[in-house]
Structure 1
Amino acid sequence: MTLKRRQFLTTAAVSAGALAMPGYIRSARAAETIQVGALYSQTGGLSVVEKMLASAVQLAASEINASGGVLGKQIEVIVEDGASDPKTFAEKAQKLVIKDKVQTVFGCHTSASRKAVLPIFERRNAMLFYQTHYEGFECSRNVVYLGAVPNQQLSNYIPWIINTLGKKKFFIVGSNYVYPREMAKVSKSLIEAGGAEWVADEYLELGHSEWAVMVNKIKESGADVVLSHVVGDSIISFYREFRNQGLSHAELPICATVTSEIEIAAMGPEYAAGSYTSFPYFMSIDRPENRSFIERYRAFVNDPKAITYHSLEAAYFQLFLWKQAVEKAGDFSADGIRENIRGQEYDAPGGPVKVDPDNLHTWVTPNIGQWQDDGQSKIVDSYGKPIKPLPYSGYGETAENLFCTAAGLDSSKL
């Protein structure tokens, strides 16, 4: 499927006879457009969220096209369906990179899908822009990472929970796969450094919906705060059971790293009101740029109540960073994009962002939001400025001792 807003196949200067010639049409199209991929699930369990990400990419492309395009070319977005399946993601990535000869793809939403396509981008020297916050522990010259890594969600969050909320006993709970476990690893070191303790570290399988036993464990643990790395539909079941068993966020708050506007709307805001999440972006961020972004996104998808959230914002602003890199490079090649996106800055809807020149991850601003009765967050703490991404912070990486640099990963430090 391609973006419908094509403005490139006709001009007033060509004759009807010329337009009828297939070879001419192909050459005109090649001259006037640049194709990029949008690889997101349009079907399957992840499609509800990933269709939104594809729409954000298309919105950004339409706005860039309306302002003149990139290097005089209009962007044509080729949307491919990953079908919520890593194997299908890999097949579609091959189609985009090998058959369509696309140099840049915006896409994937889960670490599983990113890992599945990564070898294709590295072997074929194409660029993947990945917008979702993730667990870190990756260093690829063929990926630009736009979402937060653990230090950008946790480095101010854990101390704030300890010092501002006054909580000292953490019950860590997550879904049973790589992201929650890597987040827990960073969390534990920060908890201990803050003079607090973690009393449990528990996991349930992805999609798990029976939370009665786990919530009862939380009640009996002696914990005074729950640190949640639960993902997906399980978030909804967890928060509902938490309230059903009489637990209160005022006394025993859930402090999450994944729960967003999407899950709040799905569960009903009354189940989350009073709980917290750490993200770089919230829909409630009070900036003219964000208010305008929300209005434009709603108009684009023709839904006056459409929700924006952290990954969607990154899916949008990633195209503008790509545009800046292409224009600096003077061409659309992967090599040109890679070298010229380093250090690129953009005033995104939620605030300034910058692509780190060392590791191709993105500087973002940590924010803590408390969920309100209307389903929106109230920003209760903000770092105030973007911080450097450290994808290996769980393994001892610091700003003074980088593991991932432009030269690649120094595995001897792991």
Structure 2
Amino acid sequence: MRLTKRGVAAPTAIVAVGLLLTACGSRSGDETTFAATESCVDTSGDTIKVGSLNSLTGTMAISEVTVRDSIALAVDQINADGGVMGKQIEVVGEDGASDPAKFREKAEKLVRDDCVAAVFGGWTSASRKAMLPVFESNNALLYYPVQYEGLESSPNIFYSGATTNQQIVPALDYLKEEGITSIYLVGSDYVFPRTANDIIKAYATANDIEVLGEDYVPLSGSADFSTILNKVRSAQPDAIFNTLNGDANVAFFNEYANVGLEAATTPVMSVSIAEEEVASIGVDNIEGQLTAWNYYQTVDTPENAAFVAAYKDRYGQQKPTSDPMEAAYTSVFLWRASVEEAGSFDVDAVRDSAGGVSFDAPEGTVVIDGENNHLTKTSRIGVINSTGLIDTVWESEGPIDPDPYLTSYDWAEGLGGN
């Protein structure tokens, strides 16, 4: 897999957003200062520490354990290839326990006590937003590997998962092209689903798609979906747009089948279900359903063949790969390339050197946009097959430039970044 740096011309609309942006639609001014706390990263020895912060327990463990595993795989491969600037990477692992407060606590520990050079991890937007002030106030780096709702760009976070225009908007475009004229929204009750659904409703209004209902459940697999899915059945939408996270998806699809709904007549478009979750839900309950991501195990590239083989050799032939774990894996290589481009582990130097750094990732070539710390990414719509893998049925013509504030869409005006 090749690592290079390219000159990348950011779209004018993206440039206008500016480098210094913070949480959900807010923008910090040029007077923002970093390094409020002096870095304690030790670069004097033969090793360099990084943090791996994922939910290894709780409702999100179904998704995040494999992200931890893919980070470890990337680190081992980099160490075998000589490390980073001649130093071997030492991983300090922590459990966010599916709790945003715990993610913040562990992020503080990794940055202030363990003195790591970067942290890789997080999944839910609630966990990311809980960690964001830690990384900004300490001028530290977080590499966040999961698709999210957009409307954010922090100078201390590199977003290696999709932003809205690289996943949710293409998913809606696909449904529209398939003749969908009505949808029902079901999601977990936290930042990502609620913000994503605000964006979906704005798109729907502009594209003559009727939203027939909108329901949320706690971020827990204990949720009872019988009432919600009976409402869906009565509303008779053309499709369901699913922003549930974690093991709540298991209960959702079990009840979906129980009430007699089928993919052929009421398809579900999911944006947080990948190959790992399919296995937990059960193929019989989810075959034929739609997903929107940037990567599937079935992507046909030499880089992906090597990645899948290495992952299965390490963790078991029955273990699938998925989009968030591929994005996490990719982010470790991008960090190394940015450090080596900078010739330093210093956060300001790494950030200043990152724009234009590219990597021939399993999903295809990705490039860091230096204006907003997101990646160019290819969008893919998939259908879950009978083996539990996901087949691509549509993909974008090439990598899509990140537009986290949706500045290129008139219908998104007023959502938080326009």
Q: Which has the larger radius of gyration?
A: 1
Change in CA separation of 1:175 and 1:332 when aligned onto 2, cut-off 3 Å: same
**Post-superposition offset of 1:61:** 1.1
Instruction: Quote the residue 2:367 is aligned against.
Output: 354
Q: Does 1:261 align with 2:285?
A: no
CA distance in 2, matches of 1:293, 1:132: 18
Matched AA of 1:290? N
**Post-superposition offset of 1:291:** 1.9
Q: Is the contact made by 1:169 and 1:199 (CA closer than 8 Å) also made in structure 2?
A: yes
CA distance in 2, matches of 1:175, 1:44: 15
Change in CA separation of 1:31 and 1:45 when aligned onto 2, cut-off 3 Å: same
1:153 pairs with one of 167, 180, 188? 167
CA distance in 2, matches of 1:323, 1:51: 23
**Post-superposition offset of 1:48:** 4.2
Q: Does 1:223 align with 2:233?
A: no
Q: Which moved more, 1:354-363 or 1:100-109?
A: 100-109
Q: Is the contact made by 2:59 and 2:219 (CA closer than 8 Å) also made in structure 1?
A: no
CA distance in 2, matches of 1:334, 1:117: 17
Instruction: Quote the residue 1:248 is aligned against.
Output: 262
CA distance in 2, matches of 1:48, 1:227: 21
Which blocks of at least 5 consecutive residues in structure 2 are unaligned? 1-41
CA distance in 2, matches of 1:29, 1:126: 15
- Runs of 4+ more than 4 Å apart: 411-414
- Give per-residue Cα distances to partners, 1:268-322, cap 9 Å, x unaligned: 1111111101111111212222122111012222x11112111100110101111
Normalising by structure 2, we get a TM-score of 0.84
Instruction: Quote the residue 1:212 is aligned against.
Output: 226
Which blocks of at least 5 consecutive residues in structure 1 are unaligned? 1-27, 404-410
Instruction: Quote the residue 1:315 is aligned against.
Output: 328
Instruction: Quote the residue 1:109 is aligned against.
Output: 123
Instruction: Quote the residue 2:202 is aligned against.
Output: 189
SS in 2 for 1:155: helix
1:93 pairs with one of 102, 107, 120? 107
Q: Structure with the greater relative contact order (CA < 8 A, sep ≥ 6): 1 or 2?
A: 2
CA distance in 1, matches of 2:356, 2:409: 16
CA distance in 1, matches of 2:148, 2:55: 18
**Post-superposition offset of 1:45:** 3.5
CA distance in 1, matches of 2:357, 2:108: 28
CA distance in 1, matches of 2:186, 2:134: 34
CA distance in 1, matches of 2:356, 2:105: 32
1:337 pairs with one of 341, 347, 350? 350
Change in CA separation of 1:83 and 1:219 when aligned onto 2, cut-off 3 Å: closer
- Give per-residue Cα distances to partners, 1:6-48, cap 9 Å, x unaligned: xxxxxxxxxxxxxxxxxxxxxx994211111112233334334
**Post-superposition offset of 1:248:** 1.5
CA distance in 2, matches of 1:339, 1:353: 18
Q: Is the contact made by 2:118 and 2:140 (CA closer than 8 Å) also made in structure 1?
A: yes
CA distance in 2, matches of 1:259, 1:48: 11
Normalising by structure 1, we get a TM-score of 0.85
Q: Which moved more, 1:241-250 or 1:313-322?
A: 241-250
Q: Does 1:179 align with 2:189?
A: no
Q: Is the contact made by 1:320 and 1:346 (CA closer than 8 Å) also made in structure 2?
A: yes
Identity %: 38
Instruction: Quote the residue 2:140 is aligned against.
Output: 126
